[in-house]
Amino acid sequence: MPALVTAAHQRLSRRIARRLLDEGGEVRAYADGDVSLLRAAGAIVATGEVDDEGRLEAAMAQVHTVVHVGGGLLHRDAEAIDREAAVVARAAENAGVRRLVALSLPGADPDAADPLRRAKGRAERHLAAAEVPTVVLRLSWVDTDALLDAMLTSGLGREFGETVIAPVRVEDVVELVVEFDRARSSAASGHLVVAADGPERLRLAEWLERRTGRASGHAGAGSADTGTGLVGRRLVDEASAPLLRSAVGSGPWTTSDPVAVDGWSFTGIEPRPVGP
């Protein structure tokens, strides 16, 4: 039975879909953008927005696993994260999907201090209530070039550099998702919360130094005094900057919830430290 990846036009979703294709199974890419490369690689493409419940349900027909990445640190609209998760959960129920895997954040809670974690908390609540076995992967700081550029151009002050994160490589995130698709149990119900912190804890300033190879005392705002130039960097989207700033400072960036299963131990994957 096939797997379906939502928002497959987004970078992380594309990588997950491509890796699932490498596993040799049928993959459906549900997207509201260009997925021509996935089509060429063998994915079956369905076009539509994530909150179009009718189209989404039709695309999920006879699907075993749905992978819903949802919005993250660079998202523009926290309310959309909540709304889209509710639609995905309902569509999965109505289509008879066997498992729904969704990405979330440490500290996701409807009463969290920042809007992004509140939205993720509400999204998790929709998933937990769904009549579909669900797995929520609470990923710490996902180490992407897009996030690096956003941090360097966001204008965050020196105090943000002290934020402690547990960065996770994209490659390890993808393998974690694939492993949960691969383990296709017969469970007809249940909700599993999985922690996926990176193998080491770093201050945000240390992560920037490692990724850029240049010393910086600040969290962002590449300039002469940070030692990090902006040449070749993509400027942060100002529409997403407020969510980014509030989420970075609020934390947490590790999962200490005792009900969360350690994803690496559960799957046998050994995550590697992030590199330059």
| Residue at 117: amino acid letter | R
Question: What is the reported pTM?
Answer: 0.90
Average pLDDT over residues 146-168: 89
Q: What is the pLDDT of residue 224?
A: 29
Length of the chain: 276
Most confident of 39-53, 164-178, 257-271: 164-178
Residue 207 CB neighbour total at 10 angstroms: 26
Token look-up 């330059």 returns: 276
* Residue 4, SS3 per DSSP: strand
Mean pLDDT (the chain) is: 89
Residue 252, preceding peptide bond in cis (omega within 30° of 0): yes
- Residue 35 DSSP symbol: -
Using CA atoms, how far residue 98 sits from 57, 70, 170, 266, in Å, is 13, 19, 25, 20
Q: What are the tens digits of pLDDT across the range 76-106?
A: 889 999 999 999 999 999 999 999 999 999 9
Q: What are the tens digits of pLDDT across the range 223-267?
A: 323 444 555 677 777 777 888 888 998 889 999 888 889 999 999
Token digits for 149? 């550029």
For the chain, list the domains and their CATH numbers.
3-141+170-198+253-267 (3.40.50.720)
Q: What is the pLDDT of residue 227?
A: 42
Token digits for 78? 């926290």
* Residue 169, SS3 per DSSP: strand
For residues 74 and 193, give the distance between their C-alpha atoms in angstroms, rounded to a whole number: 23
